[in-house]
Amino acid sequence: MNNFTKANQHSDTLFILIKSLTKSEKRQFNLYVGRLVGNTDAKFFSLFKFLEKQKKYDEKVIIKNGIVSKQQLSNLKAHLYKQLLISLRMNPIHKNIRVQIREQLDFATVLYQKGLYKQSLKLLEKAKTMAIENEEKNVAYEIVELEKIIESQYITRSISTRADALTNEAKILSEQNVITSKLSNLSLQLYGILLKIGYARNDHELQKINDYFKTNLPIFDYSKLGFRERLWLYKANLWRCFLTQNFLHGYKYASKWVNLFRKHPKMIAINPVFYLKGYNYFLESLFFIRNKKEFNNELILFEQEIENNAVVKNSNTEILIFQYLYANKLHKHFIDGTFKEGEYLIPIINDQINSYHYLLDKHHIIRFYYKIACLYFGMGNNKMCIEYLSKIINAKKLYVGEDLQCFARILNLIAHYECGLDYHLERQFKETYKFLLKMENLQEVQKVFIESIRSLGDLYPHEFKKEFKKIYTRLHIFENHPYEKRAFLYLDILSWLQSKIQNKTISEIIKEKN
């Protein structure tokens, strides 16, 4: 059974939540239910114990087991889901600063509703200080608004000065939140364009992206921006750089992103996901600009931070750490040309994919398969390369980016050629052409390569080297082209061609380049 079939079986949200629980979280839920009188025999707990033991979600099996009737199942599942969330909220590991501030605000609201204004204001002041110190300005604004409401009912001698202070606080926080909102909106929209359309393919698209960025960038005083505002500013700039294929500037903003956290280390614990994502884009940018020395140094530092628990570990961060660490470990062997030495990563990655299959995004699984295929190709194991590419090409009802599908098929052609599978090669040509005809905005690199490699089938063996030189000459002109260079990020066609021309391995060619 492949991972995609498993993913479909685990599509029920309650089942996914139960399967994501750690041993300590399950133990806590058992204790939580035990403290509620009479609940240890309740139906929702029986449903939990039953689902906990199941390998796949099947409503027919649940009903057949007699725990609940078909009509009551939906309500029972909703109740169990709620109880699980309450239990998880009580777990110390999930009580980050954001939850703690919200908890104080909730307590203060309860005290206010009981008419205990002085006690409520005391808690709100404490919560507001925590919020501002930790850049949680949205909730800080909520706190100030509640303080204003209470102060209007709790009459003190300092009401005039207190009113002025609260009004000023509200104004400053509101202005900061507006800038943050505009920057985060810009960042999100640019990221959406990157996912939907991809990189700029011509001058018109480049101009369109730059115009959109300039039009939607809010006016601000950089010196007055806090951590949160600067983070969104760097993110928006990074997406713009990726969209316009300006990877050198992408490195600049990814570096600013990571250094922002290094200047404010406590923010790593508060925003571990943003830190991990920033570090990943930092490493990815270094890989794109082929800065081998800094890439390898930063990858070592990244791994050391993870081993030293510098980043909070939970289900969310563990998945991200797996994705980012192992994707960049593969990149290390691509940039070093040490493909064979990276083979040890494959079983580790597959085991992790199997462990996280009910939480891991399917697109990320596909990306791993493509990188593994490239690793096998680099070490000359073309049959295993074809096996992993087939997982991408034959993936049904899954979103796989056109670029990734296209380059998977091109690499598939090369791997079949290297294996000498002539009959299969002709079939692969037809299927690849059929796929490419459906693609919009096909790159010149892709067109030239497909046209060129097709001619190899009509040559005699002694003519191959001469033809490879011709293909290399046609493609080499695109290596630094502003809109075509991304093709070589997916697949190092030029190193492969050089290996054929010079009778060397791809690994030897890359090491010589380095």
Rounded-to-10 torsion of CA 319, 325, 327, 332: 180
Contacts of 22 (CB under 8 A, 6+ apart): 315
DSSP state of 309: T
The pLDDT, as a whole number, for residue 281 is: 96
Residues 10, 68 share a domain: yes
The one-letter code for the residue type at 113 is Q
Rounded-to-10 torsion of CA 50, 56, 60, 62: 10
Alpha carbons within 13 A on the beta-carbon side of 273 = 5
On whether residue 35 sits in a domain, the answer given is yes
On whether residue 23 sits in a domain, the answer given is yes
The length of the chain, given as a count of residues? 514
**Among residues 494, 505, 443, which one has the least CA distance to residue 468?**
494
The pLDDT, as a whole number, for residue 465 is: 79
Long-range contacts of 382-389 (CB under 8 A, 24+ apart): 382/415, 382/416, 382/418, 382/419, 383/415, 383/419, 385/411, 385/415, 386/412, 386/415, 386/416, 386/419, 389/415
Q: How far are the Cα atoms of 21, 52, 68, 81, 86 from residue 75, in angstroms, in the given order? A: 21, 18, 10, 10, 17
Which helix (H) or strand (E) segment holds residue 260: the answer is helix 247-263
200 φ, ψ to 5°? -65, 135
> In which residue ranges of the chain is pLDDT below 70?
1-11, 37-41, 92-95, 154-160, 396-402, 421-426, 440-442, 454-462
Instruction: Round to whole Å and give the CA distance between 445 and 489.
Output: 12
The one-letter code for the residue type at 225 is L
Long-range contacts of 30-38 (CB under 8 A, 24+ apart): 32/83, 32/86, 32/87, 32/90, 33/83, 33/87
* Chain-centroid distance, C-alpha 355: 18
Task: Give burial (CB, 10 Å; 0-12/13-18/19+) of 342.
Answer: buried
Instruction: Round to whole Å and give the CA distance between 125 and 138.
Output: 15
Instruction: Round to whole Å and give the CA distance between 373 and 408.
Output: 9
Residues 11, 83 share a domain: yes
The pLDDT, as a whole number, for residue 461 is: 64
On whether residue 108 sits in a domain, the answer given is yes
**Among residues 332, 408, 424, 324, which one has the least CA distance to residue 366?**
408
**Among residues 206, 121, 212, 204, which one has the least CA distance to residue 162?**
121
Contacts of 95 (CB under 8 A, 6+ apart): 89, 103
Determine the longest span between alpha carbons in the chain, in angstroms: 99
In this prediction the pTM is 0.80
On whether residue 24 sits in a domain, the answer given is yes
On whether residue 465 sits in a domain, the answer given is no
Q: Rounded to the nearest 10 degrees, what angle do helices 493-502 and 464-476 cross at?
A: 150
Are the C-beta atoms of residues 91 and 315 closer than 8 Å to each other?
no
Domain of residue 143: give its range. Answer: 97-155
On whether residue 281 sits in a domain, the answer given is no
The pLDDT, as a whole number, for residue 374 is: 93
The pLDDT, as a whole number, for residue 5 is: 40
Give the other-Cβ count within 10 Å of 245's Cβ: 20
**Among residues 44, 55, 40, which one has the least CA distance to residue 82?**
44
Residues 35, 90 share a domain: yes
On whether residue 368 sits in a domain, the answer given is no
Residue whose tokens read 């810009």:
186
Residues 83, 48 share a domain: yes
16 φ, ψ to 5°? -60, -45
On whether residue 293 sits in a domain, the answer given is no
Residues 82, 7 share a domain: yes
The pLDDT, as a whole number, for residue 65 is: 83
Residues 54, 8 share a domain: yes
Domain termination residue (choose one: 77, 94, 111) = 94
Domain termination residue (choose one: 116, 136, 155) = 155
At 313-358, the pLDDT tens digits run: 888 899 999 999 999 999 999 999 999 999 999 999 999 999 888 7
Domain termination residue (choose one: 105, 121, 155) = 155
Domain total in the chain: 2
The pLDDT, as a whole number, for residue 3 is: 47
